[in-house]
Structure 1
């Protein structure tokens, strides 16, 4: 969705995975440099980046750092902590105990880390994640806070998820502070994971360098922008900024192509494109409809999990990415087409 608002922000439109987005870098590794069996590389990435969720997110959750996080995570948290403390000092119930513990971790669901090959045979690292538990807590808290404000001021809406903070109000100021912080955290989270993955690859390819500036873009966020001559708060959820010349990432699924794109600045779309294929069915429907044999066939040639735990993420559960790209040819130009060879899921 792409929702422009004047004088207000709707927290539920942003959602709870604040700052969720993509990051990709091209490396100096070539397809012919990769080993025939990529299981070892996948295993090393899984060991280097916490992923998934166990223990109901408790003390023994494998999706958080169980020992001291890497230095780069601690350094980034040091730069983020004051902003977090400022939000939580005003809203203690928005606090989350795993701010540092989740920084540089993947999460679950459709979040992933991939090694991909482009049309020239260059290896890319691409990953998808957001602001993890702390962003979820901020989002959930302020969505409920906005609903409370509507009840408090007897404002009746056709749907309670349209609850908003009016510009200039205390709730608005606090939400903007919180959502801006969570978006910074999400960017940092992806950067830490990328550092971890590149460090893994350098053990096998010590001369590895990145050969293109990293693309790091949100697809669940709000920003202040000007459209049709008016200043608005533009909320993109499942959507990517596609201003003229701006690079973005549009992923497919575990067995489909992904794309590095350049925005065309189409004003009718508020300079926006889709963030990916999007689901064709619910997770439960995918589990009901597809078998392990279906999933194995659909992910042939990709080193990834091939077990019951990822049936809901099987490629057939998503829309045809080629049809999605064709439908938005007036919004973006394709710069690179990527095909994954390794996929790590939470």
Structure 2
């Protein structure tokens, strides 16, 4: 287009000084909007200025609309801190406790609990469980929406692993993909019904996300995400999986909703912070009311991201079971970084956020992993009301990634893995087993929350990296 709109043009339309002008001009430089005639651009901006509410959820213009909308008449204030249940306090760093204390001061908070694997995060601490009144907090759900554990148990003896280490390593390399690199080649891609979900069309923000989701489906993230073979040891004969007491080969995966979940979390957190202005210490706990359009949009997008994360695990386990030539005897899956509509013991309906916490309602099965050299545990929830029906989602970090890189060496990690007879493909010093808490201490701190049905001990681990 020969002529471009400038800041003065928007001021003449009536745009106020500030962010809205810069955001609008930047948006007009996007390739698909440059094709619009100058007349149509002016008409669009006039409509936007006159009725910013009409664009609050628009894929292109929601941020400009938010900048045009009047700020709340006052900042929302925190209230007196409500009490919350705390498990394994001696293992939890002060920063995580402070974050949980802040979350318990929100006016929408009803109840909370902090798990023994807790550590500092953004907004709600990792390991934090928060019940709110008709409000969802994107950063209390987390960035990796619907991140989960999935376990397949096969009718193979543990010696199958030790006898076929190289073969199983190759199966992992051939049938998994990690990190932000491309997914599977076209001929190896698998379809899934989640990619046809109407939510990709119904939620404006998601309309250009389906292609990336299709590219990444069946893959795993970076960081602490993994796919691993190990030994399952069933110790409780009353387990709901129908497995006799004994040892089996297991396949365990940990990953989430990939780029889809991250984009949803970041987009709606920004909108929440623009529409729910909290004191600085609590700003990442901004919420969206579920009686509003944005809250309903986020809920739909969060649900889709959770379904997508589950689909990724479905494909991971399908590929590897097929490569093994085996069908699983049993499967267990549980997720965290999610929000659920639940009813408390007193009958009150609330939104329960579990950020890095495992659902542990009465009879609910789950997997709580340890580290590469420590067992994870297959558990049955006991439905303890004080914990909001929750348990830890793992051992939890003892060292930050930065500290682990500073204090540990690759040689130390290799020696530690060798001593525990664990083969690692990929991974980094920041994910060293020594960077995690003692899973046995964590389980001891939450023994009232779950019953242990068995364990999973890693043997061949695949993570992001060469």
Length-normalised TM-score, structure 2: 0.66
Distance 1:10 1:42, change over 3 A: same
Unaligned runs of 5+ in 1: 54-60, 203-207
The residue that corresponds to 1:83 in the other structure is 199
What's the counterpart of residue 327 of structure 2? 209
Note the 1:88-167 alignment, pairs <5 A: 90-91=204-205, 95=209, 97-119=211-233, 120-151=246-277, 158-167=281-290
Return the match for 1:226 from 343, 355, 358. 343
Which residue of the partner structure matches residue 56 of structure 1? none
Q: Which has the larger radius of gyration?
A: 2
Mapped partners of 1:312, 1:92: distance in 2: 33
Match of 2:298 among 159, 162, 175: 175
Contact 2:195 2:210 in 1 (8 A): no
Structure 1 residues 183, 96: CA separation in 2 closer, same or farther (over 3 Å shift)? same
Give me the whole-angstrom Cα distance separating, in 2, the residues matched to 1:223 and 1:15: 13
Query: Match of 2:413?
Result: 295
- C-alpha displacement at 1:26, in angstroms? 0.8
Output one character per residue of 1:208-258: Cα deviation in whole Å (capped at 9) or x when no partner.
23112x111111100100113210000001101101111001001111111
Is the 2:200–2:210 contact (alpha carbons within 8 Å) kept by the matching residues of 1? Answer: no
| Matched residue count | 322
Distance 1:284 1:193 in 2: 30
- Partner SS for 1:140: helix
Q: Distance in 1 between matches of 2:360 and 2:375?
A: 19
What is the Cα deviation at residue 183 of structure 1?
Answer: 0.9
Using the alignment, how far apart are the partners of 1:129 and 1:191 within structure 2?
Answer: 11
1:192 aligns with 2:315: yes
Q: Deviations over 1:262-287 (max 9, x none)?
A: 11111110110000001101111111
Q: 2: distance between equivalents of 1:39 and 1:288?
A: 32
2:423 partner SS: coil
CA RMSD in angstroms, aligned pairs only:
1.8
- Shift of the 315–158 alpha-carbon distance from structure 1 to 2, 3 Å rule, reads closer
Contact 2:342/2:351, CA 8 A, preserved across alignment: yes
The aligned counterpart of 1:205 is: none
CA–CA distance in structure 1, aligned partners of residues 286 and 187 of structure 2: 40
Cα displacement (A) at 1:40:
2.8
Q: 2:336, 2:459 → 1: CA distance?
A: 24
Task: State the secondary structure of the residue aligned to 1:325.
Answer: helix
Aligned CA distance change for structure 1 residues 233 and 68 (closer, same or farther; 3 Å): farther
- Distance in 2 (alpha carbons) for counterparts of 1:286 and 1:158: 27
What is the CA-CA distance between 1:337 and the residue it aligns to? 1.2
1:49 corresponding residue in structure 2: 176
Q: Which of 1 and 2 has higher RCO (CA within 8 Å, sep 6+)?
A: 1
Q: CA deviation at 1:114?
A: 1.1
